[in-house]
Structure 1
Amino acid sequence: MVESPACVYCQAWHRRIGPGYAASAAGRAAPLMRTDIDGPWPDGVALARRPRITPTFILLDHGRELARLEGYTGDNSFYPLIGRMLAQGAR
């Protein structure tokens, strides 16, 4: 998760989704690693392009980007969208 301390959407995600994410199917399949949009970036991460929107959820496989979800549109759409992202990354 690429985030910013000033991002109200990141704060909403942490309040509404964050507490249960690790225990969810998505959280077990793709554990959350948080990174500030201004860096530093984790070693060995190769992104398709630099994130410009927070939050951005990037699915990695051995540091290589497979898929990304930009933004947080709310509680009802997050898990279906992240599920599609995980399915896309599994291809």
Structure 2
Amino acid sequence: MLQRLLQTFATAATLTLVVALPGRAAELVMVEQAGCVYCAAWDEQIAPIYPKTAAGTYAPLHRIDLRDPAPEGMQFVRPAVFTPTFILIGDEGDELGRIEGYPGEDFFWSLLEAMLIDKTEFDRAIVETTAPSAKVRP
């Protein structure tokens, strides 16, 4: 009985540790506006899979309209001018980087991964094994 209890506890502790390790250290703010064809292309090509990727788990998406101010607790270096603009926000609410425009699916993943790796503690190994762009890399 005690052995079973210890095994259950060890399993639960291990699962908790594994789930807690990646953490949420960032958020990706998508600035968009009605009628934006590049926003629509992003919605069609990326939006359905984004939350299922390592990048999407690490930096969940938060959408705002171009005319809206920065969400409470977040600070942008400068206002967004183009749509879509993707602004990486750190855990302190500060802007870490941005992607202005949507250059297409393959370029988007490369730019996002580079920004996450450069500006956060995001692990490249996780990206290379789980992100959709890993399938197209040589």
When the two chains are superposed, the root-mean-square deviation of aligned CA atoms in Å is 1.2
Matches of 2:70 and 2:111, distance apart in 1: 24
- What's the counterpart of residue 39 of structure 1? 68
Point out where structure 1 has 5 or more consecutive residues left out of the alignment: none
Matches of 2:45 and 2:108, distance apart in 1: 10
Structure with greater Cα Rg: 2
Aligned residues: 91
Point out where structure 2 has 5 or more consecutive residues left out of the alignment: 1-29, 122-138
Tell me how far 1:46 sits from its aligned partner: 0.8
Greater RCO structure (CA 8 Å; 6+ sep):
1
Matches of 1:69 and 1:31, distance apart in 2: 15
Task: Give SS of 1:51's match.
Answer: coil
Matches of 1:16 and 1:29, distance apart in 2: 19
TM-score w.r.t. structure 2 length?
Answer: 0.63
Amino acid at match of 2:32: E
- What's the counterpart of residue 67 of structure 1? 97
Mapping of residues 11-22 of structure 1, within 5 Å: 11-22=40-51
Matches of 2:113 and 2:71, distance apart in 1: 24
TM-score w.r.t. structure 1 length?
Answer: 0.93
Superposed structure 1 runs of 4+ greater than 2 Å apart: none
